Amino acid sequence: MLMRLADERATGAFLRDQGVLYLAEGRVVHAESPCAPGLEVLLTVGGALPECGWQEALTRAGARHEVGRDLVGSGRLAAGELELCHLGAVFDAAFFVLGPAGGPAHFRYGVTHWFGRVRPVPAAAVERETRRRRALLDSVWPCADVDAAPVVPRTPTADQAVTGRQRALLRLADGIRTPTAIAWALGRPAFHTLVEIRRMAAAGLVETPRTPRTPAAAPAAALPGPAVTDCAEPDIALLRRLRDALEASL
Q: How far apart are CA 85 and CA 68, in angstroms?
A: 11
Predicted model pTM: 0.80
Q: Does residue 4 carry a pLDDT above 50? A: yes
What value does the mean pLDDT take over residues 100-113? 91
Question: What is the domain partition of the chain in residue ranges?
Answer: 2-139, 141-209
Give which of 120, 119, 117, 133 is closest to 190, Cα–Cα. Answer: 133
Across the chain, mean pLDDT equals 86
pLDDT confidence band for 3 (50 / 70 / 90): very high
- Could you tell me if 29 and 120 are in contact, meaning their C-beta atoms sit under 8 angstroms apart? yes
pLDDT at site 5: 97
Q: Which of 93-107, 180-194, 196-210, 227-241 has the highest mean pLDDT?
A: 180-194
Q: How far apart are the first and last CA of the chain?
A: 38
Backbone angles phi, psi at 16, to 5 degrees: -135, 175
